[in-house]
Amino acid sequence: MNQSFTALGVSQGRLAFKNPVLLASGCASFGEPFEDFFDIASVGALITKAITREPREGNASPRICETPCGMLNSIGLQNPGMEAFAQEILPQLRERGVTTIVNVAGGSEEDYEAVLTRLKDEPGISAFEVNLSCPNVEDGLIFGTSAVAFGRICERLRRVTELPLIPKLSPDAGNLVPYAKIAWGAGMDGVTVANTWSAMAIDWRSGKSKLAKPTGGLSGPALKPLTLARVAATADAVPELPILASGGAVTATDVIEFIRAGALAVELGTILFHDPTRPKKILEELPALLSEVGGESMQELRNTLSA
């Protein structure tokens, strides 16, 4: 393998990726929309759509709308359910050599436990991203905005599987540092900072929400400064805990900024809708940018934020 690309590898604790470019949950489906644009197996990992115990149809339409420098979504965790995922989708990802992180969602502790129990022994799963913070479904924030509930479910799920677990934190919780500390204490292998932000868009003519629901989850480049600050604060408070940065990354320089702030890897999301070739472009650009800042590896840039 070309030395410039091996230099992109990152690792911390039990998490290791061949490069720091990940595809965010819900934005790349199961990889199939991008087959004509780049090799899905080339990225550090694909994080799947949220998988629930039973199939979900999701929320009513309209459930996506553009905003200045971003996008609102109210998909509502539409997915085929854990059984169809295990039998029909995961085998295809294995065959294509995709590093797969499964995003898991539910409405109760029992739901999460059921999905992990069903999938934990399936080959081809590198880790689970535990979606405890979806703002687009009823009760979607009950675990992400209650420290007690968050800690309880982390401890419960840790007993279910030995695979790496990565809770996805909610910006609606305010200060994410206490949640990161709870995650580390409960034996979690990392955290995703962070999920989408609860937000609203209104049609000024009708006075109605532009979504079928009053609010949705805000993502896109508008979130980058907010996410950078939260990644840096989390990395400073719990340096032992790997962080997946999610929110606002668009370019290769964005990826480097997040890594300097303390992230292990960076999830690309909304940009995939605008430019489905962007992961490939970023991977091509990163070696030159790494050389420009005098770095020999992406790993050595982590936590190099200076005052």
- Please state whether beta strands 21-23 and 15-17 pair in parallel, antiparallel, or not at all (unpaired): unpaired
Task: Tell me which residues are annotated as active site.
Answer: 134
Distance between CA atoms of 148 and 164, rounded to whole angstroms?
Answer: 22
First to last CA, the chain: 36
Nearest to 261 by CA among 270, 248, 279, 275: 248
- Return the SS3 of 150: helix
Torsion angle of alpha carbons 213, 219, 220, 226, nearest 10°?
A: 130
Q: With 0-12 CB in 10 A as exposed, 13-18 as middle and 19+ as buried, what is 19? A: buried
Torsion angle of alpha carbons 53, 39, 7, 246, nearest 10°?
A: -40
